[in-house]
Amino acid sequence: MRSTPSASHAAHPELRPCSNSRSRRAPSLRLKTRRGAPASPALEVEHLHKRYGEHVAVEDVSFAVARGEIFGILGPNGAGKTTTVECAQGLRAPDRGSVRALGLDVRRDPRSLRGRVGSQLQASALPDRLKVWEALDLFASLTPGAANSGDLLERWGLTEQRDTAFAELSGGQRQRLFVALALLGERELVFLDELTQGLDPVARRVAWELIRDIRDQGCAVVLVTHHMDEAERLCDRLAVIDRGCVTAAGNARDLVARARGGTRVRFTTECADLEWLRAVEGVTEVVRSGRDVEVHGGGALLASVTAALFERGIAPADLRVEQPTLEDAYVQLTTPTRETC
């Protein structure tokens, strides 16, 4: 689907996975004010379900996003992420469930949300002959509190493309323009689907800083991404959606803590016999491929393995330790062999 970006669309809250009895319950994270009383979230998604013919795109998704929070959504292709955020913006009607944005029903009150909600879609387009400055001026004229186009051009590195028609922009330049349009004005809730797709490293850092800035001003941000570094650096909390369900939720540390395998110690050696390493305290597995050795375990693994190697006269120059990463956790949470929700 190709969608024209709209100037408007229709923490720690509770996050629930599928209601199916076989699903694992994700952590319950309830939104509170600083005084401990229940706070009103910027976005509430309740038991969302959407199918296309015989295909179930979203099975049962519930989550809430706090004001002043960057909420990340992770998941493999086809997991239901984009359908979820399109329903959350009122761009698609769910078959079941409800969505409230800024206290309003997104299907019943779309006009009340204009100017308050911004969106950058995964697939967007503008008229081929529309120039960059014209697009910014047009959207700014429809958005209360929008900065002037000159400021936006400079901020997003589009000054040299000011008079360039949309059809002549590169993929990265188009992406910069779409994100700039999504962030126009005084947004209270912003949806960003693959924010930095096609952006060079410098443009990615600029985008990250601007997202942090609007978060710090109290705006809620829903970020769909495949980039683990982006999720880890930007997001206050994360939800993993797989096969139409929320399978895990929490901050990056929460998800990494769930990763199996623990710490890994890696090194290379010409020593043929390393079976004795399995008896070292904290070691759970030793994997070898030629000269490359990977030792899995927990506790003070690096100290134990290093001491054991030195006792045997083995002193690898490349001995290093690796902790589980968000990518490790993500892969484990979305493997095809995992039981469906």
**Residue 57: its pLDDT value, please?**
95
The confidence band for 150, taking pLDDT boundaries of 50, 70 and 90, is confident
Q: Are strands 104-105 and 96-101 parallel, antiparallel or unpaired?
A: antiparallel
The confidence band for 145, taking pLDDT boundaries of 50, 70 and 90, is low
**Which string of b and e fits 31-51 if b means at least 16 CB within 10 Å?**
beeeeeeebebbbbbbbbbbe
Each residue's pLDDT tens digit, 161-181: 999 999 999 888 888 888 888
Q: Among 3.40.50.2000, 3.40.50.300, 3.90.580.10, 3.50.50.60, what is the CATH number of 43-257?
A: 3.40.50.300
**Residue 312: its pLDDT value, please?**
92
Sheet holding 263-268, edge to edge: 283-289, 292-297, 263-268, 320-322
Phi, psi of 223 (to 5 degrees): -115, 115
Q: Is the pLDDT of residue 296 over 50?
A: yes
CA atoms within 13 A of residue 97's CA, in its CB half-sphere: 26
- Lookup: tokens for 163: 């008079």
Please tell me the CATH code under which domain 263-323 is placed.
3.30.70
Query: 168 vs 3, 114, 200, 302, 322, CA distance in Å?
Result: 19, 30, 18, 54, 45
Contact by Cβ (8 Å): 89, 5: no
Each residue's pLDDT tens digit, 26-63: 444 445 433 344 457 999 999 999 999 999 999 999 99
DSSP letters spanning 140-152 = HHTSTTPPPHHHH
Domain boundaries in the chain? 43-257, 263-323
Give the three-state DSSP class for 46: strand
Give the three-state DSSP class for 252: helix
State the Cα torsion 238-241-242-248 to the nearest 10°: 50
Per the confidence metrics, is the pTM higher than 0.95? Answer: no
